[in-house]
A and B are shown apart, each in its own frame.
Chain A
Amino acid sequence: MKKQPFAFHYHLMLLPGIVLLILFSIVPMFGITIAFQNFKPGLGFWRSEWVGFDNFKYLFELPDSRIILFNTLFIAIGKIIANMIVPVVFALLLNEVRTAWLKRSVQTIVYLPHFLSWVILAGILSDLLSMDGLINQMIGAFGAKPIMFLGSNSWFPSIVIGSDVWKEFGFGTIVYLAALTGINPSLYEAAAIDGATRMQQLRYITLPSLKPTIILLATLSLGNVLNAGFDQIFNLYNPLVYDSGDIIDTYVYRAGLLQVQYGLATAVGLLKSVISFVLIIISYVLASKFANYRIF
């Protein structure tokens, strides 16, 4: 092996980051043992009673656990699908625009919500969607009764999915737009000379060129099926919609930090972490196999 004269300097450069990662990412992983304890904050880590898998058994007996799992999957999968379709369609539409300034202004505007926090957006949304809010006034103008959007279990999941699409679709188009600009323009010229219509060009050139990107992002999104979006739901939900809006992460927060059931909450969190981890690994393996994708 060749000499590596700078290895010492490289280790030195990495040191601060590695130390911080050990302190704030690795050390908490040892806290996972709480999942196997009847943890009492007063007794602490070392003296709390070990209970094996009792927390997990209890978890599966809880009637809530099925609802929470269903809500998490329903909302997360809904978001994955919607956040797949809308950005592709939007990128295709944007790609048809030849006026540069118009294209740029539309892009600039639709990225903006991505950069605002869910606290702010939830504040805005709950105002717009409240009983006397603007949306209900508009509905009222058509003579319909006001709807309690954020307090109704039938509306809540679709509002969560819809507002997430609203926040993220602009940002999601970036990758597709980049893929679209990568298509060789001579393909279109040749097709046009052969008399292909715009629809035919879309079908035989644009879509096939986008296919790898779509497949890649779909594969990578597999790792997110247990992430329904804590920040968003935490800021939008209320006890009225627990039945349709409570997800794993919000449940862990309430059971753990509010009701001080540390053992149970850690068990739920651990289960989620493990399953997510496995899913992410699978999705990366698939992505590298079929789309030649590497993280680094």
Chain B
Amino acid sequence: MVKNRTLFSRTADGIILALLVLSSILCIFPIWYTIAVSFSDKAAVAGGLVTWLPVDFTLSSYKKILQEQAFFTAFGVSIQRVILGGILNFVICVLMAYPLSRQSYQFRYRNAYMWFLVFTMLFSGGLIPWFMTIKSYGLLDTIWALVLPGAVPVFNVILLVNFFRSTPKDLDEAGMMDGAGPWYMLLKVYLPLSVPVLATITLFSIVMHWNSFFDGLILMNKQEHYPLQTYIQQLVVQINTDNMTTEELRQMAQLSNKTLNAAKIVISMIPILIVYPFLQRFFIHGIMLGSVKE
């Protein structure tokens, strides 16, 4: 770098630093604020006293959640969904990516399969036919309705295909020479080499399953089958004041309980906040490896 930095240059550095710190604060503040609200006293929140630290620190919202059966049921559904869906996504993604990463002379149907995949990714029947198909399979109100329709993460498959293709050809030839079959090559050679990408697609699929609310909303009729995000969506976000019954108005009264809602939001963020630091060091690397080709 240049040694004698001018005053202009140093001022510029200062401004850049300030902008970066400011945008980081902007990104984290709403989340931080919600955490502060969740630990504050109800009255303090209603009076608008909370800005960035909890006022009259209390765990009462969290204690109240402990008594709510519906919250835990929804939490359980989400956990179940993430585990089932995550494993299914992973297995299918790996199984599909390997054959599709072969060259056409190794597997001549490769391109046909690939176009089929891309077609399903780009074109869809739309919401209503999708809903009716799942209904006709009799999957409504089962956990499989949340897991199976998204079981093939085409985008992730393509990411992994591109990564597999970027591994040296010599590796493949050496393996074949030693008599390794496709299953051996996939499990013992390609998978151990792909940890960053695998971590990335696993993060994506965990986050996708944890964050989905809409399929839960339309595919589940009974509230006890709602995943956590759908449950929160119904409770915290959706306030439809038109055509409201007295029963719903009574629930409205509960809705205004800001601290309780904040606590629910905080709890539902926890799993993401836990996996995020572990996997985020992989994903930048993983995305770039999967998408940049020679």
Residue ranges of A at the interface with B (Cβ–Cβ < 8 Å): 1-2, 4, 6-7, 9-11, 13-14, 16-18, 20-21, 23-32, 34, 90, 93-94, 96-98, 102, 105-113, 115-128, 132, 134, 137, 166, 170, 174, 177-178, 192, 198, 230-231, 234-235, 238-239, 249, 252-253, 256-257, 262, 265-266, 269-270, 272-273, 276-277, 280-281, 294-296
Contact = CB atoms under 8 A, between A and B. Distances in A.
B126 A119 contact: no
A116 B23 contact: no
B67 interface: no
A256 to B, nearest CB: 5
A18 B113 contact: yes
Enumerate the 10 nearest inter-chain pairs by beta-carbon distance, A residue then B residue, closest first. Answer: A31-B129, A269-B126, A117-B211, A28-B125, A10-B99, A25-B120, A29-B125, A28-B129, A17-B96, A123-B236
Given A11-B109, A124-B30, A256-B128, 18 more contacts: A4-B105, A7-B107, A14-B95, A20-B92, A20-B148, A23-B137, A31-B130, A97-B16, A106-B24, A109-B24, A117-B211, A192-B2, A235-B237, A249-B127, A265-B128, A272-B126, A277-B123, A295-B158
The contact size tier of chain B is: 35 or more
B27 A13 contact: no
Interface string B256-294: 001001100100110010001100100010011000110
Nearest to B17: A97
B23 A16 contact: no
Interface string B73-101: 00000000000000000011001101110
A50 to B, nearest CB: 16
Nearest to A223: B122
Contacts of A119: 211, 213, 229-230, 232-233, 236-237
Contacts of A94: 20
| B-side interface mostly | helix
Contacts of A27: 133
29 contacts: A4-B106, A4-B107, A6-B182, A14-B95, A17-B152, A21-B116, A21-B154, A23-B148, A24-B148, A25-B152, A26-B120, A28-B124, A31-B132, A34-B132, A90-B23, A98-B1, A106-B20, A106-B23, A119-B213, A120-B229, A123-B236, A134-B48, A198-B12, A239-B240, A252-B128, A253-B127, A257-B131, A262-B128, A273-B126
Given A13-B182, A127-B37, A30 B129 contact: yes
A127 B34 contact: yes
Interface in B161-196: 161-162, 181-183, 186
Given A13-B95, A252-B128, A21 B152 contact: yes
A32 B125 contact: yes
A97 B102 CA distance: 42
Contacts of A270: 126
Which of A126, A235, A270 has the largest count of B CB atoms less than 10 A from its CB? A235
Nearest to B239: A238
